[in-house]
Amino acid sequence: MRLGLRLQLLLALGVLLVVAFVPLYFAVARLAEASLASAKKSAARDLGRAVAGHVLSSAARGDVSTLLEAQTSESGVLAIAVYDGAGAQVTVAGAAANLPAAVTPGKEVSQVAEGPTGPVLLVVVPGADRSCALVIALEASTGRMPLVRIVALYTGVIALALLVFAYLAMTRLVVRPIVALSNAAERVAGGTRSLEMPDIGAAELRELSGSLRQMTERLLSDEEALRGKVRELEKTTHDLASAQESLVRTERLASVGRLAAGMAHEIGNPLAALIGLEELLMTVDLPPDERKDVLIRMKRETERIHRVLRDLLTFSRTKTADAPEGGNASVATVLAEVLALLAPQKEMREVTVTNEVDAGVPDVAIAAERLQQVLLNLVLNAADEVPRPGGAVVVRAEKDDDTVVIHVDDNGPGVAVSVRDKLFEPFVTTKEVGKGTGLGLAVCRGLVEAAGGTIAVAESPEGGARFSVRLPRVTERQAVGTGPKRVS
């Protein structure tokens, strides 16, 4: 849990006061103790000189033994002695252990020593023909002096007063304006359209309040402008959707028109030929061999119409199936069977078809019959476009992430860029009239897309066209219990 601004500043100020006042307190205490000790020593020295002077003046008139005994006590003069002119001890009273046995004549001594009960002051006062030495007790310090206690109390009161003053000042000058600013910001976040801030606090906080007010106004202005842009974008999106719907309807009509035109062209020509041949049979009595030739031609045209209708039916089925046919297929196996079907055909004898599909290529998620129809169409289309002799078709396959890509390359003239976008639509063909219905690639596209794949055309490394079929790979779970289907 984070502390508030006031508490953090108060803690910092408290630490600063402790760092400042604690050393000051101890310095004052040491100074007071030193001053008191110096005063005690000075008082004891003055007392010793006074007593020594009185003793020396009395010693000049006679025996001072009684006087010495009278001057000693347990808390003042602990011991006293008189010395002759040579410095030898003559008379002593009190605790003689703290007195020197002899003194230097004419030399005054004042020094602190440690006695049995505490510190003592040894004072030697020389006279005209005698010297006097005294041991005076120095009172030991029994605790802090009143002055030190007063300093400690004063320091604590000042520190407490500073903390209280700092708390109140920060509350009024810093915390309260910041809280007001935070509340105003929360109101703006709740929907208020302006930042209302009371005119309180220091100059810097007022400048901050003004800056936040300007920022709020700018943000609200930008928000309104953004709302306008969103409304414009929604209107544009609606217009685009309407335009797209209209374009789709137009494209459907165009597709229907192309389909109708293709049907009229692909079926109309054979029907016109059939009508002409029927009239010839009805009006002319032909010889048997010519009659048979006419019937063969009629059968050929009828088969042409049947082929167009069959391709159209296959195309429509790939477009309207609710779900693609299940199963999986081995690309290498299906391609080998396709090439085996094409090998005996006369038109394939001048074309070299190269199989570069590795047997290790993963299976693809499409029925083997459908894959065979796609590859058969693509190889036949490529064989129709390559030069004779010298034509070459190469089939490759490669693994790409979760898909398998099958490439059918040829060394023909390629496909013009202007035709590529429409090449997979019905009745679009680059072959001569009568050689193709324009439904083969459309059927291939429907079969591939029904299996979840794609088909595209591009330039081939061999210089011609490249048709690329991308199909999803069969996962291990899909492959359990199933295998590639063989087709005949």
Assess contact for 206 and 199: CB atoms under 8 A: yes
Distance CA 255, CA 25 (A): 102
* Residue 390 DSSP code: T
Residue appearing with tokens 């079926």: 267
Q: What pLDDT is recorded for position 230?
A: 94
pLDDT at 486: 42
Closest to 56 measured CA to CA, from 413, 48, 315: 48
What is the 8-class DSSP label of residue 348? G
Question: How far is residue 431's CA from residue 435's CA, in Å, rounded to a whole number?
Answer: 6
DSSP 354: E
What's the whole-model pTM score? Answer: 0.41
Q: Which amino acid is at 139?
A: E
Task: State residue 167's pLDDT score.
Answer: 83
- For residue 206, the model assigns a pLDDT of 74
* Residue 437 CB-density burial (10 A; 0-12 exposed, 13-18 middle, 19+ buried): buried
For residue 138 the two structure tokens come to: 């120095």
At CB < 8 A and 24+ separation, what contacts does 298-304 make?
Answer: 298/273, 298/274, 301/270, 301/271, 301/273, 301/274, 301/277, 302/270, 302/274, 304/266, 304/270
Q: What is the four-CA torsion angle of 281, 285, 290, 294, rounded to 10 degrees?
A: 0
Secondary structure (3-state) at 396: strand
3-state secondary structure of 423: coil
Least Cα distance to 295 among 421, 141, 287 occurs for: 287
Dist CA 284 CA 270 (whole Å): 21
Take residue 383 and report the two structure tokens written for it: 């064989």
Cis peptide, bond prior to residue 389, ω within 30 of zero:
yes
Are the C-beta atoms of residues 397 and 473 closer than 8 Å to each other? no
Q: How many CA atoms lie within 13 A of 83 on its CB side?
A: 24
Token look-up 């040829």 returns: 410
Strands (E), 411-482: 454-459, 465-472
Query: Partners of 392 in the beta sheet?
Result: 352
Tell me if the bond preceding 270 is cis, omega within 30° of 0. Answer: no
What does the pLDDT read at residue 129? 84
* CATH code given to domain 321-479: 3.30.565.10
User: Rounded to an integer, what is the distance from CA 38 to the centroid of its chain?
Assistant: 72
Q: What pLDDT sits at residue 117?
A: 75
> Which amino acid type is present at position 6?
R
pLDDT of residue 488: 38
Report CA dihedral (376, 378, 381, 382) to the nearest 10 degrees: -110
CB atoms inside a 10 Å sphere around CB 30 = 11
Enumerate residues 6+ apart whose C-beta is below 8 A from 416.
Answer: 430
Q: In angstroms, what is the C-alpha Rg of the chain?
A: 61
The DSSP bridge pattern shows strands 454-459 and 109-115 to be unpaired
For residue 102, the 8-state DSSP code is B
Which residues, in sequence order, are bridge partners of residue 270?
A: none
Q: What is the pLDDT along the chain (488 residues), one digit of tens a residue?
A: 677 777 888 888 888 888 887 888 788 878 888 888 888 889 888 888 998 888 888 887 777 788 888 888 877 888 999 998 888 988 888 877 778 888 988 898 888 888 777 788 889 999 888 899 999 888 755 555 676 778 788 888 888 888 888 888 888 777 777 888 788 778 777 777 777 766 666 677 777 777 777 888 888 888 889 999 999 999 999 999 888 888 767 766 665 565 666 666 667 767 877 888 888 888 888 888 888 888 888 887 787 777 667 766 665 555 444 444 567 899 999 999 988 888 877 778 888 899 998 888 999 999 888 898 889 888 988 888 888 888 899 999 998 888 999 999 999 888 888 777 777 776 666 555 445 556 778 888 888 988 889 999 888 887 788 999 999 998 755 554 444 444 43
- The amino acid occupying position 186 is E
Per DSSP, what are the bridge partners of residue 454? 470
For the chain, what is the largest distance between any 2 Cα atoms, rounded to a whole number of angstroms?
199
